[in-house]
Amino acid sequence: MFPLIEVSGSARERGQQHGHQAKARIERSIATYARLFAYCGIDWQGAQRLGAGYRDIIGDLDTGLLAEIEGIASGAGRNVDEILALNARTEILPPSYPGEPHPDGLRIASINAKRGVPDWGECTAVAVKPGQSKTGTTLLAQNWDWLGAQRATVVLLRVRDAGGAACLTLTEAGMLAKIGVNDRGFGVCLNILRSSDDGSHPGVPVHVLLRALLGRDSVADAVAFASSLTFGASSNVLCADASGDIAALEFSPRGLEVIHGTDAPLCHTNHFLSPGSAKYQVPLVTSMSSVPRLERITTLTRAHTGKFSSTDLQRMLSDESDGYLSICRRPDPNVAPEACIETVASVVMDLGGRVMHIAPNVPSKVNFVPVALDKT
């Protein structure tokens, strides 16, 4: 299982605790992203300059989240701009990723190495309302598909702020949040999207947004909060709350589109579902298999008889019926490491119980382990 890091106190104190306890994993994450940015034609110094451009945006959103990022850098002994680059990695990556490598990629990787930087599609999500679950609680689940090398950087953060509010999130070391649930029974999952407008102007980084959303009370609260923000890149946050409200928050530089859930499970992969945003969708890379994965998870959920259990969703997220392009993605040895997407981890959350069931690898290979938000 991934290491569980407890952080509490003021924003800077929480960041310092995170940075100190996850120091080695943060260094590994920097190594991975330095290589990935090089693949896209951006050296690590350039990535830091781009990351620094999000400092004021994050500070305007929430001064506490910026202080926490500064604390992570302090605790890990890293430059703040490096931690900003990690938290804005989605916004820094070009919309064309994972396409062909940049022609200067090898040269840039060599420059990174000389400067002391080490070398080394994301996701199928589904939400189920209480009326359709065996426990009578909302279920929210996701396979996180990304670079396999990042598995060695993943941590679980159990966060309690100075006011006592708490959340549990599975994330990459040095990042504020990714998949998670809070003490009010509100949860978030993430699907990276790509539109032709990505990068046209700066906006709130999605991994900062996820942490900010983990401070909200409900789906309605999250929608109202996100509606006032500006985004520099595209993503979908599939969110749900303990009352049974579920929604997909698709956002891009053009704004926010909300898809509200019905009684049927709400599924999402890596392309826009809202008609208004779909026309700006970047052409889908075959290797991301977004359309067939959505079709498959929709078929599995619709064919299911009776109510859903956590185990049912775990089984669906372990589906390998389409080989390397399945819901459960094994690494394809024929794809370059910088573009090879696999299932890094799988999560099924019981929002009523505030419990995350986590598979810390390709879910067909390992068991899911329950981790509760409340450590008592």
* Amino acid at the residue 255: G
Pick the last residue of a domain from 96, 114, 132.
114
Residues 180, 303 within the same domain: yes
Residues 211, 258 within the same domain: yes
Cα-based angle 271, 39, 120 (whole degrees, multiple of 5): 110
Q: What CATH number should be reported for the domain holding residue 338?
A: 3.60.60.10
Q: Are 273 and 252 in contact (CB under 8 A)?
A: no
Which residues contact residue 226 at a Cβ distance below 8 angstroms, ignoring those fewer than 6 apart?
A: 209, 213, 237, 249, 251, 256
Pick the last residue of a domain from 88, 114, 140.
114
Q: Residue 113 above 70 pLDDT?
A: no
Q: Per DSSP, what are the bridge partners of residue 267?
A: 126
**Residue 149 confidence (pLDDT):** 87
Burial level of 255, CB count in 10 A (0-12/13-18/19+)? middle
Q: Residue 291 above 60 pLDDT?
A: yes
Band of the pLDDT at 115, cuts 50, 70, 90? very low
For residue 318, what are its two tokens? 């372990």
**What average pLDDT score do residues 43-62 get?**
96
pLDDT digits (tens, 9 = 90+) for 54-97: 999 999 999 999 999 999 999 999 999 999 999 999 999 876 55
Is there a domain that residue 352 lies in? yes
Is there a domain that residue 364 lies in? yes
Distance separating alpha carbons of residues 207 and 29, to the nearest angstrom: 15
pLDDT digits (tens, 9 = 90+) for 223-258: 999 999 999 999 999 999 999 999 999 999 999 999
- Which residues span the domain enclosing 99? 8-114
Which residues contact residue 342 at a Cβ distance below 8 angstroms, ignoring those fewer than 6 apart?
A: 145, 146, 147, 148, 329, 330, 331, 332, 362
* Amino acid at the residue 179: I
Is there a domain that residue 63 lies in? yes
Is there a domain that residue 3 lies in? no
Residues 80, 131 within the same domain: no
Q: Residue 117 above 60 pLDDT?
A: no
Distance separating alpha carbons of residues 192 and 47, to the nearest angstrom: 19
**Residue 220 confidence (pLDDT):** 98
Residues 158, 62 within the same domain: no
Distance separating alpha carbons of residues 48 and 52, to the nearest angstrom: 6
Residues 180, 110 within the same domain: no
Residues 93, 174 within the same domain: no
Residues 75, 163 within the same domain: no
Cα distances (angstroms) measured from residue 338 to each of 38, 49, 341:
9, 22, 8
For residue 82, what are its two tokens? 């490096």
Residues 343, 308 within the same domain: yes
Band of the pLDDT at 98, cuts 50, 70, 90? low
Q: Are 246 and 240 in contact (CB under 8 A)?
A: yes
Q: Residue 108 above 90 pLDDT?
A: no
Q: Which residue has the tokens 């945003």?
A: 277
Residue 170 backbone dihedrals phi, psi, to 5 degrees? -90, 120
Band of the pLDDT at 299, cuts 50, 70, 90? very high
Number of domains in the chain: 2
Helix (H, G, I), strand (E, B) or coil at 218: coil
Residues 137, 207 within the same domain: yes
**Residue 343 confidence (pLDDT):** 96
pLDDT digits (tens, 9 = 90+) for 159-213: 999 999 999 999 999 999 999 999 999 999 999 999 999 989 999 999 999 999 9
Is there a domain that residue 205 lies in? yes
Lowest average pLDDT, out of 6-15, 20-29, 119-128, 300-309, goes to 119-128
Residues 335, 355 within the same domain: yes
Is there a domain that residue 24 lies in? yes
Residue 197 backbone dihedrals phi, psi, to 5 degrees? -90, -10
User: Across all residues in the chain, what is the average pLDDT?
Assistant: 91
Distance separating alpha carbons of residues 323 and 314, to the nearest angstrom: 18
Residues 167, 272 within the same domain: yes
Residues 210, 95 within the same domain: no
Pick the last residue of a domain from 114, 147, 178.
114
**What average pLDDT score do residues 342-357 get?**
97
